[in-house]
Structure 1
Amino acid sequence: MSSFETPQNSERGFGLSSREVQVISGATGLMAITVALMYVFAATPLAVVNDYLFSFPIVGVLVYGAAITGGEILAERGIKGGDMWIAFVGMVVLQLAFGTFGAGILSIVPQETQLTVLGITAIVTALMTALVSGYVYARSTTFEHWGRFANYAFLGGIGVILVGTFVLQTLLLVGFVLIFLGFILRLGYEIWQVRDNRDASIGLQTIGVYVAVAGVFVHVLQLVMRYVLSRG
């Protein structure tokens, strides 16, 4: 997961700048496309990709992790280098990765329930994003350490899932929680970047926020799906 170093603190009032609005709008638009892809892909053969990859959980984690990381690197490199084609390819990789992963989760519930599940997930994710954003904006301090902690959580989650795949399956839930925590911390870190790093590229910040929100979304989606199935 990439990070941008900005050590300064924030001392500002309420309200969003035009740059912040552009980042939020861009990330929201990308997230809307991702959710639409999840719904469409759930009715296609792509919905069974998860079944194959997660037959060995560590394989699924590594494949999707590589796709998300690779897509983000490509998109950021394209924006930094002014090559919109590379940036576009990176965004396509990200959209396909999150869309396919979400579709595999969504396909477990009946089609008539899928829009409800997506709607509930969107509301919960929006509330979580609002809580994290409110906390970050309420504190005039650096959140750079959240970026480091997010990376530790990702690496810890992968390690635990590796052990859980071959040794003790009950550890898989711990790995899920660690990776979920990693995306929440990454979300806080990216929001802080938007708040304090006012000279950064809007495109780069939009990608960072989108990846963090999408990561939270697919984890919430799994929880909502399990709840809906348990009620049925």
Structure 2
Amino acid sequence: MSSFETPQETERGFGLSSREARVIGGASILMGINVVLMYAFAQIPQLAEINNYLFGVAPILGVIVYGAAIMGGELVAERGVKGGDMGIAFVGMLILQLAFGIFGAGVLSQAPQVLQVEILGLTAVVVAVMTALISGYVYARSTTFEHWGRFANFSFIGGVLVILVGSFVLPVLLLVGFVLIFLGFLLRLGYEIWQVRDNRDASAALQTIGVYIAVAGVFVHVLQLVLRYVLSQE
């Protein structure tokens, strides 16, 4: 993924420039659209059932399909931005929105409709707090976070391999795979925030895409945890 490239000189500080605010605002808008899509798609049984089919056949199938959609959507969107073709960029963003939206809808549909808004709201609060904590940590330290990008890739790869084994041999490993992929998105979020902080000559649009993907990845994992918690209280 191209957003995992180019180490930059590290700076420190908490003040946000107008450019940083645009990136954060853009990523927030994209994430907001995704949350609305998750709720809307959860009301469409055919879309909500996609998760059950993919992960029901074998969890690794769902991971591969959604992983390919996210990577493909990012590559297409970045290609459009770099080439100045907003049509291609829009197609890439559409793929990303559909991938995260359908996956989130599949998770959300496991809860009664009356609880779905509450679950999305709680998830949004938790993700906002986690993002604020990671951002505060990154901005407070005058060091590079390039290694977080590498660690994120290792975590993603490890998670996929563990889920592959868990799908056919040791189901208990599926939880380990979930944790590794969740950790991968958290690390990527820290990396993307560092890029926004220090790589000020990069395209704000590309950085917006990077932050959005990281936040969306964290969101769908927290959503699964919040869902379990809320349902356990009923």
Q: TM-score, normalised by structure 1?
A: 0.98
Q: Which moved more, 1:222-231 or 1:169-178?
A: 222-231
Residue pairs, 1:22-101, within 5 angstroms: 22-44=22-44, 45-55=46-56, 56-101=58-103
Unaligned runs of 5+ in 2: none
Whichever residue aligns with residue 173 of structure 1, its letter is L
* 1:10 corresponds to 2:11: yes
Q: Per the alignment, in what secondary structure is the counterpart of residue 54 of structure 1?
A: helix
Structure 1 residue 228: Cα displacement: 1.1
Equivalents in 2 of 1:175, 1:47: separation in Å? 23
Residue pairs, 1:173-188, within 5 angstroms: 173-188=175-190
Equivalents in 2 of 1:9, 1:131: separation in Å? 19
**Number of residue pairs matched?**
231
Alpha-carbon contact 2:14-2:140 (below 8 Å) kept? no
Whichever residue aligns with residue 173 of structure 2, its letter is L
Whichever residue aligns with residue 22 of structure 1, its letter is R
Equivalents in 2 of 1:100, 1:9: separation in Å? 37
Whichever residue aligns with residue 8 of structure 1, its letter is E
Alpha-carbon contact 1:146-1:189 (below 8 Å) kept? yes
Q: TM-score, normalised by structure 2?
A: 0.97
Alignment RMSD: 0.7
Structure 1 residue 6: Cα displacement: 2.2
Alpha-carbon contact 1:6-1:196 (below 8 Å) kept? no
Whichever residue aligns with residue 225 of structure 2, its letter is L
Q: Per the alignment, in what secondary structure is the counterpart of residue 14 of structure 2?
A: coil
Whichever residue aligns with residue 87 of structure 2, its letter is W
Regions of 4+ moved over 3 Å: none
Equivalents in 1 of 2:173, 2:207: separation in Å? 34
Structure 1 residue 19: Cα displacement: 0.3
Whichever residue aligns with residue 78 of structure 2, its letter is E
Q: Per the alignment, in what secondary structure is the counterpart of residue 77 of structure 2?
A: helix
How far does the alpha carbon of each residue in 1:71-98 deviate from its partner, in whole angstroms, 9 at most, with x for none? 0000001000101111000000000000
Residue pairs, 1:67-216, within 5 angstroms: 67-216=69-218
How far does the alpha carbon of each residue in 1:145-198 deviate from its partner, in whole angstroms, 9 at most, with x for none? 000000000000000000000000000000000000000000000000000000
Equivalents in 2 of 1:29, 1:9: separation in Å? 27
Identity %: 72
Structure 1 residue 133: Cα displacement: 0.2
Structure 1 residue 64: Cα displacement: 0.2
Unaligned runs of 5+ in 1: none
Equivalents in 1 of 2:208, 2:160: separation in Å? 26
Equivalents in 2 of 1:131, 1:179: separation in Å? 19
Equivalents in 1 of 2:118, 2:14: separation in Å? 34
Equivalents in 1 of 2:14, 2:148: separation in Å? 23
